Amino acid sequence: MPEEEAMNKHSKPIIGITMGDIAGIGPEIIAKALSLKEIYDTCRPLVIGDAKVMGKALAIAKVKLTVKSVHRVSEAAFSCGIIDVYDLENVKEGIGFGRVSAASGKASAEYIEKAVSLALGKEIDAIVTAPINKEAINKAGYDYPGHTEFLAHLTDSKSYTMLLTAGSLRVVHVTTHVSLREACDLITKERVLEKIKLAHQVMRMLGFEKPRIAVASLNPHGGEGGLFGREEIEEIAPAIKAARELGFDVTGPLPPDTVFVRARGGAFDIVVAMYHDQGHIPIKLAGFEFNQEENTWSTVGGVNTTIGLPIIRTSVDHGVAYGKAGKGTANPGSIIEAMKMAVDLAKNRFRNL
């Protein structure tokens, strides 16, 4: 890559933004986010997708911008008012809003593949992903339960997890896209310790010198000394002990009905949750607000960051919202926050080099 493309002390990070499933709200929220000058004040955004689709998204979002189709990073203008699209030209006519299709799934997967290739090649400094539909990518032949697993495959990563952030509340997960019954079987000392290490790693990347890590229990009331289950005694507590021996500041296992409240109140910097909904529910309570009268999400503020990859990846913490697609009412709050997180991580990575 040409030297001038690399992030240095005098430049802003290049953030690659994948368009996501084009039958959903991804292109629209990207258009709305990139209409803001504050984004260009902190980074150089590059949409990875299809320029024709982005052009249509501008009309839906009602923003007066220009789309520039590029085929190399060096061709991008990186100027507010112009949306640079690394144009894969991979969308045919006939993909409508609000429905699952193999065509939209294939296109969204190809955006991710290109973004990862650019990030691994050091042509961009971080990736921000708009939402994809799991059924659509599977219809297209991509057999992954979600973004995280697909990214891990593309980067040959073995140890990874998701970090969810909403304001001061940060959560990582020991298990994610598996059934609740299977999640219980996956709570092992080795797996819990691995996620504690990843939690420590990402907090250090965010500038926390000695992060305070809380670990949630799996069972109600922390298992009540084995009365409600022995996972805390046999797996979680030994993992915490091992983490402390490594010098980590770790507390737990703590009952999940209070640990997230304590973390949000400032007692801890990050919480290790045992399964998907245990961590997602408090994050969405903290970051989302729903207006029943208008049937809209008035606030959508969560961010999903994948930890353990050799590249930086952040994402919205919501789905494709097929029901809203094409109506111009989608809230860009989460993707704006995801861009800010990507910038922070990219800058901190540079400082630590």
Same domain? For 78 and 171 the reply is: no
Give pLDDT tens digits for 18-62. Answer: 999 999 999 999 999 999 999 999 999 999 999 999 999 999 999
Give pLDDT tens digits for 43-55. Answer: 999 999 999 999 9
CA distances in angstroms from 58 to 52, 69, 84, 236, 319, listed in the order given: 10, 14, 13, 49, 20
Paired residues of 48 in beta bridges: 18, 86
pLDDT of 285 strictly over 80: yes
Helix axes 51-61, 26-33, angle to 10 degrees: 70
Structure-model confidence comparison of residues 307 and 117, the more confident one: 117
Is residue 50 domain-resident? Answer: yes
Same domain? For 152 and 170 the reply is: no
Residues whose CB falls within 8 Å of the CB of residue 158, separated by 6 or more in sequence, listed in order: 152
Q: How much is the pLDDT for 350?
A: 57
Same domain? For 28 and 110 the reply is: yes
Confidence of residue 351 (pLDDT cuts 50, 70, 90): low
Same domain? For 65 and 135 the reply is: yes
Give pLDDT tens digits for 166-199. Answer: 888 999 999 988 899 999 999 999 999 999 999 9
- Amino acid sitting at position 157: S
Residues whose CB falls within 8 Å of the CB of residue 152, separated by 6 or more in sequence, listed in order: 158, 160, 306, 308, 309
Q: What's the mean pLDDT in 243-254? A: 97
- DSSP-based three-state secondary structure for 70: strand
Same domain? For 92 and 121 the reply is: yes
- Amino acid sitting at position 245: E
Paired residues of 127 in beta bridges: 16, 313
Report long-range pairs for 94-99 (Cβ below 8 Å, ≥24 apart): 95/22, 95/23, 96/23, 97/23, 97/24, 97/322, 97/325, 97/326, 98/23, 98/24, 98/322, 98/323, 98/325, 98/326, 99/23, 99/322
Confidence of residue 337 (pLDDT cuts 50, 70, 90): very high
Q: How much is the pLDDT for 9?
A: 44
% the chain with pLDDT above 70: 94
Q: What's the mean pLDDT in 134-148? A: 92
Same domain? For 19 and 139 the reply is: yes
Same domain? For 214 and 137 the reply is: no
The CATH number of residue 147's host domain is 3.40.718.10
Place of tokens 């980074």: 43
Is residue 301 domain-resident? Answer: no
**Range(s) of the domain holding residue 217:** 161-283
For residues 163 and 171, the answer to whether their CB atoms sit within 8 Å is yes
Strands 249-254 and 212-216 come out as parallel
pLDDT of 331 strictly over 70: yes
Is residue 298 domain-resident? Answer: no
Confidence of residue 296 (pLDDT cuts 50, 70, 90): low
Q: How much is the pLDDT for 11?
A: 81
Same domain? For 144 and 46 the reply is: yes
Q: What's the mean pLDDT in 237-261? A: 97
Is residue 292 domain-resident? Answer: no
Q: How much is the pLDDT for 8?
A: 52
Instruction: Give the C-alpha separation, 183 to 177, whole Å.
Output: 9
Residue 164 has phi, psi (to 5 degrees) of: -105, 140
Looking at every residue in the chain, the average pLDDT score rounds to 91
Same domain? For 145 and 56 the reply is: yes
Q: What's the mean pLDDT in 193-217? A: 94
Q: How much is the pLDDT for 2?
A: 41
How far is CA 135 from its chain centroid?
Answer: 19
Same domain? For 91 and 138 the reply is: yes
Confidence of residue 243 (pLDDT cuts 50, 70, 90): very high
Of 243, 268, 283, which closes a domain? 283
Is residue 81 domain-resident? Answer: yes
Q: How much is the pLDDT for 3?
A: 38
pLDDT of 106 strictly over 90: yes
Please report the beta strands in the chain, taking only residues with DSSP state E, as ranges in sequence order.
Answer: 14-18, 44-49, 66-70, 82-87, 126-129, 161-166, 169-173, 212-216, 249-254, 270-273, 288-291, 296-300, 303-307, 313-316
Is residue 290 domain-resident? Answer: no
Instruction: Give the C-alpha separation, 157 to 198, whole Å.
Output: 13
Is residue 108 domain-resident? Answer: yes
Same domain? For 8 and 151 the reply is: yes
Place of tokens 């997180």: 341
Same domain? For 147 and 254 the reply is: no
Confidence of residue 301 (pLDDT cuts 50, 70, 90): low
pLDDT of 137 strictly over 50: yes
Q: How much is the pLDDT for 4?
A: 45
Confidence of residue 65 (pLDDT cuts 50, 70, 90): very high
Give the least confident one: 156-160, 216-220, 260-264: 156-160
Instruction: Give the C-alpha separation, 157 to 309, whole Å.
Output: 6
The secondary structure of residue 269, as a DSSP letter, is: S
Residues whose CB falls within 8 Å of the CB of residue 179, separated by 6 or more in sequence, listed in order: none
For residues 343 and 307, the answer to whether their CB atoms sit within 8 Å is no
What's the structural domain count of the chain?
A: 2
**Mind giving me the DSSP string for 202-268?**
HHHHTT-SS-EEEEE-SSGGGGGGGTT-SHIIIIIHHHHHHHHHTT-EEEEEE-HHHHHHHHHTTS-
Q: What's the mean pLDDT in 194-216? A: 93
Is residue 187 domain-resident? Answer: yes
Count how many residues are written for the chain: 353
Instruction: Give the C-alpha separation, 346 to 325, whole Å.
Output: 31
Q: How much is the pLDDT for 291?
A: 72
